[in-house]
Amino acid sequence: MSVTALVGLQWGDEGKGKVVDYLAADMDVVARGAGGANAGHTIVLDDGTKRVLHLLPSGMVRPDPLCLMGAGMVVEPWQMVSEMKEAGLEPSTASRRLLLSPRAQMVLPYHRILEERLEAILNIGTTRRGIGPTYALGALRMGTPVGLLGHREELRAWLQRMHDMVAGFGSGDLPDPLEVLESLDAVSNWLLSTTGNVTGELHRARAAGKRILLEGAQGVMLDLLHGTYPFVTSSSTTATGLAAGVGLGPSDMDRVIGVVKAYTTRVGEGPFPTEEHGPAGEMLAQKGGEFGATTGRPRRCGWLDLVALKWAVRVSGARELVLTKLDVLDGLEEIPLCVAYEVPGLGRVEDMPEDAWLYAKVRPVYEMAKGWSSSAGLSDPHVRDYISLIEEFTGARVIKASWGPRRSQMGEP
């Protein structure tokens, strides 16, 4: 019996897709429980083939695991059908590989329009995929669960209600509810063919001793409650939030593994203490190929922030780490590591302030680690020293390290 939760420990884009794919080779079940098509999990096979998944669990790239999508997710129906077709899933056979909770909320054109209008006011830097409004309206009990696809008259009335509500947020044309209904009719058979009791399936699998992997989306620093609010996502990105999204309790998890880049990136607005605006930031962006898999936007880049990482380890409960993109740091003589903050009015601190506005004013305090010539040789003493510094500061053990995008570029440090 084994349930492993895998979460990102930065602002997303840590390489979770590759790590899920790597671990899924030994898993019976892979389940997502939060987020939606704002995720972009990239998997590069050893022949160079690249797969980018936004909704389907990354375990779909492997031939065997059953893939589950829990009630905590928000699902864009047309995007999901597109990914199902790309994965070779047909409505008649899809449920053998994929199971979707009818409680998951659907992202509709109204949510996208509402987010566009809100983003013009708030300037959060969202993906503009309608994710936030979908979660918000779900919390207001005005959501559109996938299960409504099987109840057409109720869905029609629900769409009219949503149309009228979004119309109150500003002028402009909105899709006619009947047009949206007809568009949903075209994909409803695909989605309904995959719906089922995700939570029940998970608990049966756990009782049978199956190996289960919970796949997180985004990163802990973007958590709605514990992230750099208001520059956060709209779901819980911690391990406990992930478990809740699929219907498991905290005691059901046996391991929590955190994924962390050897440096730090962020997309969109919000505080980023170790961000580099000059040549160093450009070097990290170019060598790391730092462009969003979902939006194509360039990522902001900077050095590894151990203070934020220690906080994310605590909040997520991660005791093990997978370190990715070590190769991007190859060839540097010295590598800065943020080990403390200078906080206005408080001086030097080694804990992340919970006041998000105060956090935006902190300045990083660096220690220098010696660089290396090639991280592919994980036995290099300077690579080992870099990993040891991370372990000592965070209290979590690095169990795997990655030095490139392909499956084979992963090993034990």
Per residue in 56-109, pLDDT tens? 998 888 989 999 999 999 999 999 999 999 888 888 888 889 999 999 999 999
CATH 3.50.50.60 corresponds to the domain 2-101+196-255: no
Which one has a higher pLDDT value, 178 or 121?
178
Q: Which amino acid is at 120?
A: A
| C-alpha to C-alpha distances, 293 to 3, 17, 40, 267, 278, nearest whole angstrom | 28, 11, 5, 11, 23
The pairing of beta strand 300-302 with beta strand 255-261: unpaired
Rounded to whole angstroms, the Cα distance separating 402 from 330 reads 13
- State the CATH architecture for 260-411: Alpha-Beta Complex (3.90)
What's the whole-number average pLDDT of the chain? 92
SS3 182: helix
Radius of gyration of the chain (CA): 21
Tokens standing for residue 170: 């500003």
- Strand partners for 212: 3, 29
pLDDT for 92: 84
Active site residue 47: no
d(C-alpha 413, C-alpha 401), whole Å: 6
- E strand or H helix at 19: helix 16-24
pTM: 0.93
Q: What are the φ/ψ torsions at residue 93 (nearest 5 degrees)? A: -125, -5
Confidence of residue 51 (pLDDT cuts 50, 70, 90): confident
Beta strands 74-75 and 105-106: pairing type?
Answer: parallel
> E strands, 114-250, where?
211-215
Return all residues near 114 (Cβ < 8 A) that are at least 6 apart: 130, 133, 166, 169
Residue with token string 């075209």:
186
Catalytic residue among 13, 305, 327, 380: 13
Is residue 128 within 8 Å of 116, Cβ to Cβ?
Answer: yes
Whether pLDDT at 125 is above 80: no
Residue 330 per-residue DSSP state: T
Residue entry with tokens 């003589």: 333
pLDDT at 1 exceeding the cut of 60: no
Query: What are the pLDDT digits (tens) for 357-398?
Result: 999 999 999 999 999 999 988 989 999 999 999 999 999 999
Say whether 41 is catalytic.
Answer: yes
Non-local (6+) Cβ contacts of 308 within 8 A are 10, 221, 264, 273, 338, 352
Residue type, 53: L
**At CB < 8 A and 24+ separation, what contacts does 157-165 make?**
159/108, 159/110, 162/108, 162/110, 162/137, 163/110, 165/110, 165/137
In this prediction, residue 171 has a pLDDT band, given cuts at 50, 70 and 90, of low
Angle, alpha carbons 384-389-390 (nearest 5°): 100
pLDDT tens digits, one per residue of 27-47: 999 999 999 888 777 787 777
Indicate the CATH number for domain 105-192. 1.10.300.10
Please give the DSSP secondary-structure letter assigned to residue 152: H
Single-letter amino acid code for the residue at 234: S
- pLDDT band (50, 70, 90) for residue 208: very high
β-bridge mates for residue 99, sequence order: 68
Q: Which of 41, 111, 163, 226 is catalytic?
A: 41
Of 114, 127, 52, nearest to 82 by C-alpha is 52
Inform me whether the pLDDT recorded for 297 exceeds 60. Answer: yes
Structure confidence at residue 264 (pLDDT):
97
Sequence ranges of the domains in the chain: 2-101+196-255, 105-192, 260-411
If pLDDT is split at 50, 70 and 90, which confidence band does 5 have?
very high
Number of helices followed by number of strands (H, E) in the chain: 12, 19
Whole-number pLDDT of residue 293: 60
Residue 123 has pLDDT above 90, yes or no: no
CA–CA separation, 37 and 328 (whole Å): 27
Distance separating alpha carbons of residues 70 and 154, to the nearest angstrom:
23
CA torsion, ordered 403, 405, 409, 413, to nearest 10 deg: 40
> Which pLDDT belongs to residue 294?
60
- 109-123, 187-201, 274-288 — which is least confidently predicted? 109-123
